[in-house]
Amino acid sequence: MEGLDPKILNKIKQKVQEEIVKRERETVEYWLGELIKVYQKNHQTLAEFKADIRQFIDRMKTRLEVLKTKKY
């Protein structure tokens, strides 16, 4: 990036890094919330708990596949 002022370049890098961290935090908070919902659910049997965990895993896998196909 020749020709750009180093101060401006550093500001841009800092803004991008802040945005990345913000989005990562939001993502982790979302999935943590979803996992807490599964944990707090009143499961009567281990099979019910495992089914909810499997559903949670499937949702995460599906989301990852969407992100991979969109080349993110």
- Angle in degrees, 0-180, between the axes of helices 46-69 and 6-40, rounded to the nearest 10: 150
- pLDDT for 42 equals 93
pLDDT at 2 over 80: no
Confidence of residue 37 (pLDDT cuts 50, 70, 90): very high
Count how many Cα atoms sit within 13 Å of the Cα of residue 63 in the half-sphere of its side chain.
9
Mean pLDDT for 24-50 is 95
Q: Is the pLDDT of residue 71 over 80?
A: no
**pTM for the structure as a whole:** 0.72
Quickly state the pLDDT bin for 5 (edges 50, 70, 90): confident
Hey, what's the torsion of the CAs at 3, 8, 13, 18, to 10 degrees?
A: -160
